[in-house]
Structure 1
């Protein structure tokens, strides 16, 4: 996709995060199965539900603005983070060490999403896409909350 304007960049980043969210819906069940700590398993299950809602919210962003169309693309950054998580699962035994690694892997994903959604909110405001900005800000708040929950779980281990 050729990016020639702020709107083009917004659509590119929106498409990228849509791909990321889809990848996350496939990765979280694997991470849930690999976790040992029950609170971590619950956090992953809850985040899967939130992620499905976030995909619906991205669809709402597109529906609310006629000029927006999600492009088919792959988020390579998320693909790499998911691969790292899979390597961690394969190279560690189930237990506290793997759980600590899974928390770290999940927080890397959260930080990527926080950065992406923060940028999207700012661009949406600049473009006058107020409904998009509001919807994306909801997701940004959820991502920050998930990151905080993961930190709390890590500190209790």
Structure 2
């Protein structure tokens, strides 16, 4: 087992990385929700998850502060920019809503894995004060992934129906 100092260093690095990933999530979801036209339930769920994500960021900042450190502006900015580029790329596709659903589903599972890993490090390193906050964030990510999974048939069918009817497939411009 690595030393306590090594586990502390790895845990802090993981927290900083998770913070940057949550910032990236915001940069992906915010433009999506602004462009959704024919899928009000998706827009509503994204708005709710944006609020959850802001809470996750605040919890990560609290945990980092307890270690007398903070997030990485460079990592936050870099991942936010890459998230914005992904959102822009999908916005040019006629099947934007379907591609966004795929990407969001994958991204939620990336976040789930990150929180599970942080919980292992918190347990192994004895950082139990962080456990409740990390479990709360994990639960929110799992719930969002489950919602995307459950809603994908509806999104796909509505997209196909709009396509067949010749309706507007593009989101709002």
With normalisation by structure 2, the TM-score equals 0.76
Give distance in 2, aligned partners of 1:79 and 1:11: 23
Give distance in 2, aligned partners of 1:22 and 1:141: 18
Query: What is the number of residues matched between the two proteins?
Result: 148
Which one has a bigger Cα radius of gyration? 2
Report the alpha carbon displacement of residue 84 of structure 1 after superposing the two structures with TM: 2.9
Q: What are the residue-to-residue correspondences of 1:46-61 with 2, within 5 Å? A: 46-61=48-63
Give distance in 2, aligned partners of 1:28 and 1:149: 15
Gaps of 5+ in 1: none
Gaps of 5+ in 2: 156-173
With normalisation by structure 1, the TM-score equals 0.83
Which residue of structure 1 lines up, in the alignment, with residue 70 of structure 2? 70
Q: Are 1:27 and 2:28 an aligned pair?
A: yes
Q: What are the residue-to-residue correspondences of 1:1-157 with 2, within 5 Å? A: 5-36=6-37, 37-63=39-65, 65=66, 67-72=67-72, 73-74=74-75, 80=82, 82-90=84-92, 92-93=93-94, 97-157=95-155
Rate the CA distance shift 1:100–1:27 in 2: closer, same or farther, 3 A. Answer: same
Q: Is the 8 A contact 1:81 1:108 kept in 2?
A: no
Cα deviations across residues 17-38 of structure 1 (Å, max 9, x unaligned)?
Answer: 1112123223322011232311
